[in-house]
Structure 1
């Protein structure tokens, strides 16, 4: 039955208290957290920490749903298209932010279709070489690469990954001819450097700190704003004149674009609290991450900065995921 316009206008004056009390409380059913990576991965670990905390404070089950594949894009697409109001997502940064630039055919826009909630954790990248490569800093690497054009190979987890972008931009900016060798995983690329089958890699710190401290690789620079506590003798890349002060591997919590601001703010607060638990800190720090937890604006600014920095690099070098 359709309520006439005059009757509808009269309803607030007649029944405002009743309407206010009838507003649904969020969440009113289970919440799903989609992770675009397999169980046991670092994004999955962070997601489960957030889910455990949210379940305790929201009064509803919070279920982690792993949808691995496409470098996280399969899971992110599912989050972007969710219309149930009870779906969140956890993904990693770098390629996740610029996925539409790397692949114009992507079925969602990471910037327009996903709403940042909280920056959960981050870690720097470590530029490392096999100990047999006669370089100990960035300047020596540049000189060695110039003296050996086309003879130095660097590994990454694949074209368009942050490790690939770091090295491709580095080579282009210094006019170096180096060869990109993609691998199925970051640990595999590090092992290839250890074995001497490739000369170098820019890998997320958690995958290479142990080998660097053990002397299996030589770390010559770290990304981010400063030195790492785990590698205090390795200078930051910014100390060596490289524009890498804002480059991190990171994990973020997202929601579909249509989630209201007050819910985003509440989720960000609770995600920050989840990152402060002793067990979460222990697990993430063991994986090489720095647990954070932030407001939505902090993660949104990080994404804008990444798009502004890496977008022109991808276009200028014509980088595609399959290249």
Structure 2
């Protein structure tokens, strides 16, 4: 009968030490090839705009290209799943939104768990939204818009980037608190949604100032109210929805960078440092603020806590409004 031999713990210790050294060396040399920054929506939308501002400056700091790749479809699910299933080596990231990380889990049957399978890097910006109307809509104030909507329920339409996206949720929340019944017209991306609003195919949109502000300034769109808790310094004469007669209404969208779960912490920290340095650059900060964004740049842990709180908030809204993906 053979006696069992003692496990060679010194060999195990050596293996762990070797792995730690290799991991450290890998993080130290990171990045040594281009990094993919996935945008889970079509080009020209708010997420795409932020990604294409941040990516080139991150590339300068990291010494490797940061390539923005649009992987649109299923309200952002396709791009999100693509990143969650990618190798956790720091070479695939996602410029995510509230929709990707806090809404879609309650609308779609996703093949990943965003809080388990993605690693937060940093919240990038918070973006102010506004209730925008085409100039042909006979309403110059929010009160006139509400009265018009109530006089003909379902007649006024509003566009969005897709079912369950930020603009859609903003519209559902508005209907609920204002007592209106607007008709939702979902598009495949915010670029198409905004284009048809400018063209007059729809009456209104609850959209980001990030992309809509130039059209408000040149008169092709009219801003009736700001959706957040404070007025925008870019449109100081436009009241908030709450100020204009819908108490309790508040909506703000946000964008942040995430990576696949399991990405080494030193790599996450290097990405976080690059994001925060980019956001600290005066010209980038000014460009974002001029488009209606509030620059953030926080720690991975702070962003993770924020994502958890947002999931609780929007799960309640979605369940109450009975929103389902189609």
Residue 253 (str. 1) matches residue 257 (str. 2): yes
2:116 match: secondary structure? coil
Q: 2:209 aligns with which of 205, 211, 220?
A: 205
Q: CA deviation at 1:169?
A: 2.0
Q: Structure 1 285/10 Cα, relative in aligned 2: closer, same or farther at 3 Å?
A: closer
Matching residue of 2:322: 318
- Counterpart Cα distance in 2 of 1:91 and 1:29: 21
Q: Structure 1 48/233 Cα, relative in aligned 2: closer, same or farther at 3 Å?
A: closer
Post-superposition Cα deviations, 1:264-290, rounded to whole Å, max 9, x if no partner, equal: 334322210022234534654565544
Q: Structure 1 54/227 Cα, relative in aligned 2: closer, same or farther at 3 Å?
A: same
Q: TM-score by structure 2 length?
A: 0.80
- Counterpart Cα distance in 2 of 1:293 and 1:11: 39
1:169 match: secondary structure? helix
Matching residue of 1:233: 237
* 1:46–1:280 Cα contact (<8 Å) kept: no
Q: Structure 1 244/293 Cα, relative in aligned 2: closer, same or farther at 3 Å?
A: farther
Q: 2:185 aligns with which of 160, 176, 181?
A: 181
Matching residue of 1:157: 161
* 2:46–2:208 Cα contact (<8 Å) kept: no
Q: Structure 1 51/185 Cα, relative in aligned 2: closer, same or farther at 3 Å?
A: closer
Matching residue of 1:101: 106
Unaligned runs of 5+ in 1: none
1:144 match: secondary structure? helix
Q: Structure 1 216/264 Cα, relative in aligned 2: closer, same or farther at 3 Å?
A: same
Q: Structure 1 47/176 Cα, relative in aligned 2: closer, same or farther at 3 Å?
A: closer
* 1:137–1:220 Cα contact (<8 Å) kept: yes
* 1:49–1:274 Cα contact (<8 Å) kept: no
CA RMSD of aligned residues (A): 3.4
Q: TM-score by structure 1 length?
A: 0.81
- Counterpart Cα distance in 1 of 2:129 and 2:208: 4
Residue 87 (str. 1) matches residue 94 (str. 2): no
Unaligned runs of 5+ in 2: 1-5
The alignment of Structure 1 onto Structure 2 pairs a total of residues equal to: 315
